[in-house]
Amino acid sequence: MSKHLKGRPVLIVDDELSIRSALQERFAEEGVRVTTADGVGVARKRIAETDFALILLDHRLGDGTGLALLEELRKNQSPAAVIMMTAFASIEDAVRAMKAGAADYLIKPFDLDEMVLLADRVLENVSLRSQMARVRAKDRASSGIDNLIGGSPAMNELRDFLERVSRSGAQTILIRGESGTGKDLVARAIHFASPETDAPFLNITCTALPEALLESELFGHEKGAFTDAKQAKRGLFEEAQGGTIFLDEIGDMPQSLQGKLLRFLESKTFRRVGGLREIQVDVRVIAATNRDLSKAIEEGTFRSDLYYRLNVIPIEIPPLRERREDVRDLVSHFTEYFATELRKVSRGFDAEAMTLLGRYDWPGNVRELRNCVERAVLLARNERLGVGDLPREIRGAPRVSQAGSGEHLLTIPDQGLILEDLIKDLLDQALVKCAGNKSGAASMLGIHRDQVRYWVKKYGLTRWIRTRKKSNSSAAEASGSD
């Protein structure tokens, strides 16, 4: 009957032997480890000896009251759940017991099966709360401001600003930054650094749903508001009460919803879809966009009054190309993370690969860097990651300044050069870097392995032409070293 009681230690405190015996026998049938006490003094002794999951506590005992013992347990921060029992029911006693931390209150006489069901439900709730507490603790540990990686001046300044914002009590924040810069991480960092850290953090992408569904998700709906609305539904603004709602890609929110969002920001009230009742909630709203909202206002796709209401606390996240000194720290972090996640042994990237990673412009910002490292760790052939483990666009990234100064990978000398000699030299360099591995050289040069084989023969690069004995040719080919 009960899945949360079995094997758990339970203390029954009652001065009536018949009740203690009946409860002990019934709970024992559920596989419960039962201990009994006939008064406050004995109960204190039992509690000092055992960490009980649940205590069934009578209100009036011969040497004291169960309520006094309950208050003592909570003062000592006992983790045991408590169900109060009494034959002298009063509203005042019930209210006081619940305020003191009782999980529930049952009036005698009661059905033994009813008590078992109640006890099982109480322990289930305790388990759920414990799981939620662990999840919140994990979120706090992984989403704190200190978890924003990078030691550049820009990141140090951003972390300092986020600390002040999170303590300020600001209720409306606008985060701007290119795609992949980590706007969602910044939003979470603000929430988990604030006093509301135990309250909900809920997020929604404004482009993820059609307009009608987005409105319902945000504001909820009443029963019968539209087809298939068979029952009322709370929206994210209600679910986030006391906490934070993160609206990602706010620049793409439909204009009809922009007006409703503005009204909510001004009054902290809204109506569910199909509803007439005003609902008031207290939530922090963090919006984010990678769009130029000033331009969107000029184009008539974004309301200026909503922009000014959102832009109370603006936060700019710099793109990765403007803080290249953070690349090394990010690469190190992601390499360690994915090596653990994928159960791989990795000694990180070699110096040449790190040079290319630091030189690349990262148009996809931190998200692109993360994906690059994940791919490299996943497909790595060696513990030390090298140039051959990088995507083609990074290996062959043009070394041209952001301002377009015209700096080239190679400057042709005034006297000219022979293209075939250049190809031969580059091919030889690639094979040296890849220890003769033609697949690796092909990947480094952005060509097919068959092309490498053809050029090796064409240009007479004899040291890279393998001579195989007939007896081991099949084994050599099977090794994949070519």
Show the 3-state SS of 248-290.
ECHHHCCHHHHHHHHHHHHHCEECCECCCCCEECCCEEEEEEC
Lowest-confidence segment of 117-121, 166-170, 422-426 by average pLDDT:
422-426
- Give the pLDDT score at 1: 53
Per-residue burial over 32-66, b = 16 or more CB atoms within 10 Å of its CB, e = otherwise: bbbbbbbbbebbbebbeeeebbbbbbbbebeeebb
Rounded Cα–Cα distance for residues 135 and 132 (Å) = 5
3-state helix, strand, coil in the chain (%, to 5): 50, 15, 35
Which pair of tokens denotes residue 126? 């305790």
Please tell me the pTM assigned to this model: 0.64
pLDDT tens string 419-466: 887 888 888 888 888 888 887 788 778 777 778 888 888 888 878 776
The answer to whether residue 227 scores a pLDDT higher than 80 is: no
Lowest-confidence segment of 128-142, 247-261, 311-325, 447-461 by average pLDDT:
128-142
Question: Between residues 441 and 16, which one has the greater pLDDT?
Answer: 16
**Cβ-based neighbour number of residue 310 at 10 Å:** 26
pLDDT tens string 313-331: 999 999 999 999 999 999 9
Q: List all residues 6 or more positions away from 458 whose beta carbon is below 8 Å from its beta carbon.
A: none
Give the chain's mean pLDDT: 86
Q: List all residues 6 or more positions away from 378 whose beta carbon is below 8 Å from its beta carbon.
A: 338, 342, 344
The answer to whether residue 74 scores a pLDDT higher than 50 is: yes
The answer to whether residue 343 scores a pLDDT higher than 70 is: yes
- Give the pLDDT score at 447: 78
Query: What are the residue ranges of helices labelled H in 380-418?
Result: 392-395
Q: At what angle do helices 449-458 and 419-433 cross, to 10 degrees?
A: 120
Residue 404 region, left (φ>0) first, then alpha (ψ -120 to 50), else beta? Answer: left
Per-residue burial over 69-107, b = 16 or more CB atoms within 10 Å of its CB, e = otherwise: bbbbbeeeebebbbbbbbeeeeeebbebbeebebbbbbe
Q: At what angle do helices 112-143 and 183-192 cross, to 10 degrees?
A: 120
Question: Between residues 89 and 66, which one has the greater pLDDT?
Answer: 66
Rounded Cα–Cα distance for residues 113 and 36 (Å) = 19
Q: Of all residues in the chain, what percent carry a pLDDT higher than 70?
A: 91
**3-class SS at 99?**
helix
Query: What are the residue ranges of helices labelled H in 100-176?
Result: 112-143, 153-168
Average pLDDT over residues 90-111: 84
Strands (E), 351-453: none
Rounded Cα–Cα distance for residues 46 and 3 (Å) = 25
Which pair of tokens denotes residue 28? 């024992």
The string of DSSP letters for 20-86 reads: HHHHHHHHHHTT-EEEEESSHHHHHHHHHH---SEEEEESEETTEEHHHHHHHHHHTT---EEEEEE
> Do 273 and 215 touch, CB atoms closer than 8 A?
yes
pLDDT-derived band at 7 (thresholds 50, 70, 90) equals confident
Q: List all residues 6 or more positions away from 353 whose beta carbon is below 8 Å from its beta carbon.
A: 385, 386, 387, 389, 390
pLDDT tens string 386-430: 998 999 888 875 443 344 444 556 667 766 778 887 888 888 888
- Structural domains in the chain, sorted by start: 9-133 (3.40.50.2300), 144-318 (3.40.50.300), 322-395 (1.10.8.60), 419-478 (1.10.10)
Rounded Cα–Cα distance for residues 77 and 93 (Å) = 21
Backbone angles phi, psi at 232, to 5 degrees: -65, 150
- Give the pLDDT score at 409: 60
The answer to whether residue 239 scores a pLDDT higher than 90 is: yes
Question: Between residues 186 and 126, which one has the greater pLDDT?
Answer: 186
Average pLDDT over residues 372-390: 92
Average pLDDT over residues 238-256: 94
Give the distance between the most distant pair of CA atoms in the chain.
110
Cα dihedral 26, 30, 32, 34, rounded to 10, equals 10
- Give the pLDDT score at 6: 85
Distance of CA 92 to the CA centre of its chain: 44
- Give the pLDDT score at 405: 43
- Give the pLDDT score at 402: 41
